[in-house]
Structure 1
Amino acid sequence: MRINGEGQWQPETEADIRACIDDADLQESHYLDMKREVGDNPRKRKETAADLASFALDGGALLIGVAENKENRTWELAPQPLNGLAERIEQVAASAVDPALFVATHEIPSAADPTTGYVFVQIPQSPSAPHMVDGVYIGRGDKTKTRLSDAEVTRYHAKREPIEGHLERLLDAERDRDHVPAHTQQTGHLYLVAHPLSARRDVALQLVRDDGSELLQLIVALEGTIPRDVREFAPTPGYATATATRAQGRAWCTQAALGPGRTFESTSAHNDEEDLLDIEFREDGGIRVLMGRMTATWGRYGGDAKTVVADGLAVAYALRVVRWADAIAERTGYHGSWGFGVLATGLRGLSSSAYQERFSSGPTYDADEYREVTTASGMEIHTRPQAVAGRLVGRLVRGLATSVRYDGLLRAD
């Protein structure tokens, strides 16, 4: 029996499944269930949705293509047509479970006929659990799915609210420790936080407190994963050429962020607040980003000056932070969930830079700031970082009417 990095059985071949059956090791449990098929009628789709949702509280797996022999209560191989099967499972998780559930599917072809086989569905512990199917919250007992009582649902929701509140407080703390005092800021600022929700407080100690070369390599290497459409919007991480030791970890920042005690120092005759960039990695695995160009003034050195919202930069840094979190998780062996938050200020009455590029005036934003928090499993940030970033900044680009330009960058393929 092959065990993955999170302590769960993970078959890779039909032989792995057969061996587990022959050894009588394949058993339904709190973390594993088997089904012959998914089915394509509404009743069977609902049953599959409930099976998936039942694992969301603690994580688990569903193996499709194995049938139970009712007479002797053993399992038998029952390979299913693979064409479109994994996609159907993912569609059920996304459309029949509320809120939509992230799952990872792995096809295992049959040796006799590779067009048939099995699908091993991994359901990571969901930060949004419990999930509903057809208006009913689903949980899991020792071996089967269960309907959660109102009291159980209330208890689970009560556990989730402190996480969201904690992320909100982290955003407020970043605004409070901004290099530039709020009353002197001349541009809108962007703050991003990423925080491992169940890691040791020193999970990234060695990574953060060494000479910093591995962290720098991480930043540089992952730039190639950022879509070209937004990757080169300034300031890029390449602008952060200075390093600073911090109370909580290590930072890379622009010269404008190198004032003593994390204060802002203008380094030119012109205000260079738009050059402000500070990327901080912490001993507890957390990431903090401050960027001073959430709004930018175009044409200020000649022509008609106009201040615009740099929403493309928000998209780029949301994608970066999720990618960096995944890399830190991989390097530290942390497999748990993450919390993310974004706060953008100085937005009211401004339109997106995307419209200015076309010499037109787009819709103006009607709020002073934008903020959003979300949570994601380690598996989701590894396999669908765009979707996590989309939950962070999707509402911002919709509010600025630039979804057509950026939505494609914020959706998993």
Structure 2
Amino acid sequence: MQHYLGPGRPLTILDTWDKVRAASEGGLLAENQWCELKEAIGPSTKAVNTELARDIASLSVHGGILIFGVKDKTYEVVGCETDGLRDRISQVAATRISPPLVPVVLDDVHGPDGRNVLVVSVPPSQLAPHMVDERYYGRSADGKRVLSDPEVRTLILARDQRTHGFIERLKGLALNDPIDQLVEEAPTGHGHAFFLAEPCSPVPSERIDQHKLIEILLNLDYGKRGMTSLLGDCTYAGNDPDGLSLRTGHRKVRAEYEHREAQISVHDNLMSIRSRGSHRILLLGTADRA
């Protein structure tokens, strides 16, 4: 998993001790809006767990990572005891934050003398801001902080506008159905499924070209039922003026083959997948015949 650590910093992988040390020594690890460092965690008391909840809640506004085993002042990678920490983080996020959160706790990064680094990825939340002990938390360049009432209102308004805009864009996919362009004698009256995924927070990522997208679709885990995936069959260039597009064929097909047709489009700020309703397509990587 690649992590965003702030403007001007490359997407960084932190899955080995050497990579964590290299990131620290290269100046990539520092507490800011997207990163919180903890040398260790104290005993499971109310005060310590509340502080942990505040850290997680604050990162959920724009997304970020919480790293255990790195000093927050010197950024020295020292490692810490991580036994039971995974369950504790999940429990705190589920019980002490409102609405609850589900951070992604990655595998331990093993270091010397049994001391490990633990990286916790907190995705940007569609329900942000989140509350701990009746206060909403966010972040600034210096780390977590309590949000003011105007800031909370602004975030909630932006959340509502984002939700409304998403619904309108999803409806727009149906109004401009690309499958009709792939099928003879369309529209046939058959139902089509439309899926749309957009990032909750504007975090930069690597651009994807046609060959890279084909590689991604071919390597997705489509389950163990051995059924052909529509996404894996999208290898022909599609027609999408707003971004990169792939489709299952380069010419129109007869109506009886409509269920085999699909198109995927990737834009700089969204990904959309469209196919016929007789298939179940999930953006997480499955596309099986219902």
TM over 0.5: yes
Q: Which moved more, 1:238-247 or 1:164-173?
A: 238-247
Residue equivalent to 1:250: 245
Tell me the distance in 1 between the aligned counterparts of 2:190 and 2:88. Answer: 47
CA contact (8 A) 2:240 2:265 kept: no
Alpha-carbon deviation of 1:199?
7.7
Contact 1:274/1:293 (8 A) holds in 2: no
- Number of equivalenced pairs: 272
Name the residue aligned to 1:37.
41
Q: Does 1:82 align with 2:86?
A: no
Check conservation: 2:32, 2:139, Cα contact below 8 A.
no
Which residue of the other structure, out of 218, 221, 226, is the alignment partner of 1:220?
Answer: 218
How far did 1:130 drift?
Answer: 1.6
Distance in 1 (alpha carbons) for counterparts of 2:176 and 2:118: 49
Opposite residue 91 of structure 1, the aligned amino acid is: Q
The CA deviation at 1:48 is: 0.9
Amino acid at match of 1:173: G
For structure 2, the residue ranges without an aligned partner over 5 or more in a row are none
Question: In structure 2, what is the Cα distance between the partners aligned to 1:128 and 1:283?
Answer: 24
CA distance in 2, matches of 1:121, 1:220: 29
Task: Indicate the residue corresponding to 1:300 in structure 2.
Answer: none
- Which of the residues 235, 245, 261 maps onto 1:277? 261
SS state of the match for residue 92, structure 1? helix
CA separation in 2, counterparts of 1:287 and 1:74?
A: 40
* TM-superposed deviation, 1:228: 1.9
- How far apart, in 2, do the equivalents of 1:227 and 1:26 lie? 37
For the residues of structure 2 that align with 1:106 and 1:216, how far apart are their CA atoms?
A: 29
> Take 1:169 and 1:291, find their aligned partners in 2: how far apart are those partners?
19
Cα distance change of structure 1 residues 252 and 63 upon mapping to structure 2, 3 Å threshold: closer
2:142 equivalent in structure 1: 143
Q: What secondary structure does 1:51 align onto?
A: helix
- Structure 1 distance, partners of 2:167, 2:230, is 26
1:111-126 equivalences under 5 Å are 111=112, 113-114=113-114, 116-126=115-125
Matches for 1:15-54 after TM superposition, within 5 Å:
29-30=32-33, 31-54=35-58
Q: How does 1:162-241 map to 2 (within 5 A)?
A: 162-178=161-177, 179-180=179-180, 186-195=189-198, 198=202, 203-204=207-208, 207-208=209-210, 213-222=211-220, 225-229=221-225, 232=227, 236-237=230-231
From the superposition, tell whether residues 91 and 274 of structure 1 become closer, same or farther in structure 2 (CA, over 3 Å): farther
Q: Secondary structure at the match of 1:93?
A: helix
Q: Distance in 1 between matches of 2:213 and 2:30?
A: 43
Cα separation, partners in 2 of 1:82 and 1:161, compared to 1, 3 Å = same
1:251/1:145 Cα in 2 relative to 1: closer, same or farther (>3 Å)? closer
Residue aligning to 1:288: 272
Q: 4+ residue stretches of structure 1 with deviation over 6 A? A: 8-11, 14-17, 24-27, 73-78
When structure 1 is superposed on structure 2, of 118-127 and 167-176 the one drifting more is 118-127
Q: How many Å separate the matches in 1 of 2:17 and 2:75?
A: 16
Distance in 2 (alpha carbons) for counterparts of 1:276 and 1:15: 44
Percent identity over the alignment is 21
Cα distance in structure 1, aligned partners of 2:60 and 2:150:
18
- Structure 2 contact 262–274 (Cα < 8 Å) conserved: yes
The 1:50/1:187 distance shift into structure 2, 3 A limit, reads: same
Which range moves more in the overlay, 241-250 or 189-198?
A: 241-250
Larger Rg: 1
TM-score by length of 1: 0.51
Q: Deviations over 1:204-233 (max 9, x none)?
A: 4xx14xxxx5543432232xx11124x617
- Kindly state the Cα deviation for residue 323 of structure 1 after the two structures are TM-superposed: 4.4
Unaligned runs of 5+ in 1: 260-264, 295-312, 325-352, 355-413
Does the Cα contact within 8 Å between 2:197 and 2:272 map onto a contact in 1?
A: yes
* CA 1:89–1:276: 2 relative to 1, 3 Å: same
SS in 1 for 2:103: coil
